Structure 1
Amino acid sequence: MKKTVFYLMIGLLTPLLAACGSDEAPVLVDLSANKRGSFTDARDANTYHYVSVGGLDWMTDNLRYDTGDDNTRSIYATQELPGDNGTTTNARTVARYGYLYSYEGALTAAPAGWRLPTDEDWKRLETALGMTRKQADGDLWRGNGQAEVLNSATGLNLLYAGFHDKNSTSFAQHFFFMGAVGYYWTATSPAEGLALFRKIRYNSGQVYRHTTKTNNMLSVRCVRDAN
C-alpha cells in the first residue's frame, strides 16, 4: 500500500515539476549580432535605439514622448527625494524608464513610421526567441527563458518600470513594482475597456500575457517593419 501511494504521489507531482522546470532550463537566443540602429524622434529630439528580430525593428528603449495630457504619467512616487519638487525625480526616472501611458495614449504616442506592437507582433517576437507557437498563444506565464533575452543588454532591454494603477481605491500612491516588474502594452483590444499586455519580472524567465483595463498606465515599446 505504501509503495502504491508513493508511486501515485510521484505521478501527480511529475507534471508540476516539469512545469516548474520549464522556467529553470531557459532557451536563450543571443541577439548581439542582429542588425541594430538608432532613430531620432523629430517631435522632441529623443533618440531611440533598435534591434531587428523576426522581421521587425524593436526599440530597445522605453518610449519617452509626452502626450501632454492625462494619457501620460511621469511621477514615480517610489523615487521621491527629500526636498525635491518632482523635477529631478522625473528627469531621472523618465530618462531611464520612459513614461507610462494609458492604452489610448500608447496608441497615439508612437513616432511617425513606428507603431504600438500588436499582440501578434509580440508573439512573432516571442517565437523568434524560441517560444513555441502553442506557448505564445497561451495565457498568463509562458515560455522558458524568453524574458531573460528581452531584459538583457544584448536583447530588447525591457525594463522593470512598474505600472500606474488607475483603478486602485487606495489613498496612497498608485505606482507599483518599479525595479521589479515591467508592463508593456499591445495594440490589441479584445473587448471594450480591455487590452492585452505583456509582463516580465526580475525573478522569472517567462513572459506573462493577459488583459488589463485600458485606463491603467504601462510602458511602451514601438516597432516597425524591418527594412
Structure 2
Amino acid sequence: MKIRQILFALAFITPLMTLPIKGFFNSPEEFVMLSPEVNNNWTAGDDWVDWRNGMTYSTQEFEGVVWMTANFMGNSKQMSYKEAEIAAPEGWRIPTIEEWNKLLEKTGFSSDPNRVIPDDYYLFKFESEGYHDPLMGKIGVNQVGFFWTKSSDNEIGNYISIPNRELSYKHGKISSIAKMAVRYVKD
C-alpha cells in the first residue's frame, strides 16, 4: 500500500518539478498593484481604468458629461439599483434620465427613420443584455438593452430600454431589486 502511495505522489509531483521557478517566486518589484493614481493623467476620451479590478473602459464626452461607452463590469454584468450605486467608482455616478435623453438624441436616436446615423453613434456600445427580473428570470437578452437611470426627484427603479437594431428608446419603472446594466457618468 505504501509503495502505491509513493508512486502516486511521485507521478503527481514530477510534472510540477519541470515548471519554471520564476512563476512561483516572483520578486516584489515584478508584482504590479493598481492604485487610484493610475488615472491621474486621464482625460475625457481616454480609457479609464478601474484600479479596483483592472477593467478598462473607453470614455467619451457628450454635452459636458463624460460617459463610459460600454457597460460597467462590477461583480457581474447586471446589478440591482443599490448594487449599481455602491459599485460606482469614486467620482462616477448613475446618469439621469435627462442625460440619457441628450446622449441618445446626439447619437441618432429620434423619431425620424430617415435621419442619417451620426458618427457619435459608433463611439457608444449599446449592448442588449436584457434584465433579470427577481420573479420571472432573464428577460430580453440579446433583444433589448436595459440601463438604470436616476430621476430628478431621486425616485429609484427608473430605467431606459433600447431595442436591438432600432433607433428608439423607452423609459420605464421597475422594482429596484431587478438587475440590469449600468453606465456611469462623470461631470
Q: TM-score, normalised by structure 1?
A: 0.55
Contact residue 166 and residue 215 of structure 1 kept, 8 A: yes
* Structure 2 equivalent of residue 204 of structure 1: 166
How many percent identity over aligned positions?
Answer: 27
2:38 matched residue in structure 1: none
Which residue of structure 1 aligns with residue 100 of structure 2?
122
How big is the shift at 1:127? 4.0
Match in the other structure for 1:185 = 148
Find out whether 1:111 has 2:120 as its counterpart.
no
Structure 2 Cα separation of the partners of residues 161 and 150 of structure 1: 23
Could you tell me how far 1:106 is from its partner in structure 2? 1.2
| Cross-structure match for 2:32 | none
Equivalent pairs counted in the alignment come to 142
1:151–1:157 Cα contact (<8 Å) kept? no
Instruction: Pick the aligned partner of 2:72 from 45, 50, 63.
Output: 63
Q: For 1:90-143, what per-residue CA distance to the aligned partner results, in whole angstroms no more than 9, with x for missing partners? A: xxxxxxxxx101111111111112111111221232343466xxxxxxxxxx74
- AA in 2 matched with 1:128: K
C-alpha RMSD over aligned residues: 2.8
1:101 to 79, 97, 108: 79
Structure 2 letter corresponding to 1:207: Y
Question: Which structure has the larger Rg?
Answer: 2
Q: Distance in 1 between matches of 2:148 and 2:54?
A: 23
Q: Which of 40, 47, 50 is the equivalent residue of 1:41?
A: 50
With normalisation by structure 2, the TM-score equals: 0.66
Note the residue ranges of structure 2 that are not aligned, 5 or more in a row.
1-43
Note closer, same or farther for the CA distance 1:52–1:151 as it changes in structure 2 (3 Å cut): closer
Segments of 5+ residues of structure 1 without an aligned counterpart are 1-34, 67-73, 75-98, 132-141, 169-173
Given the superposition, is the C-alpha separation of residues 150 and 105 from structure 1 closer, same or farther in structure 2, using an over 3 Å criterion?
farther
